Amino acid sequence: MKEINFDQKIMSFSQECIRWTVRFLTVVMVFVIAYSALDIVSVVLSKIWNVPKFFLTVDDLVDIFGAFLGVLIAIEIYENIIIYLREDVIHVRVVVATALIAVSRKIIIMDFNRAEALSVLSLGVLVVAVAVAYWLVRYEKK
């Protein structure tokens, strides 16, 4: 009987430590998102003010879009953390949606002229796998 009580205390303590760690990560994620957003503004302004002024190359746009999607991924991870704190569960649909954004970011920033064929093929398989997973999870309850 005493051992069960001790085990419950250990489990309760461990769970509380995990929840405080997740809370700390939430605060850290807010700083990461804010810093990343300010970094995007800085990059955009520096690219616009470079000679020739107000001219962005395709590479500049790809860099900017990649940074935007990076922030969106960070926001999705933040949302995953918040949902976990509120409901004490991880929503698979939100995690798969985050993965879909991450894969999309990789496609957008990938330089297909320099990429190896196997990398492109692997990325294509990954896109299909994540899309199917999202479709299955999204329509699971219907």
Which one, of 72, 79, 80, 59, lies nearest residue 103 by Cα? 72
With a cut of 70, say whether residue 141 has pLDDT above it. no
Q: What share of the chain in percent tops pLDDT 70?
A: 94
pLDDT in tens, 21-38: 989 999 999 999 999 999
Q: What is the pTM of this model?
A: 0.72
Mean residue pLDDT across the chain = 86
Domain borders along the chain are 2-138
Q: Which amino acid is at 67?
A: A
pLDDT in tens, 77-119: 898 888 888 887 777 888 888 888 889 888 888 888 888 999 9
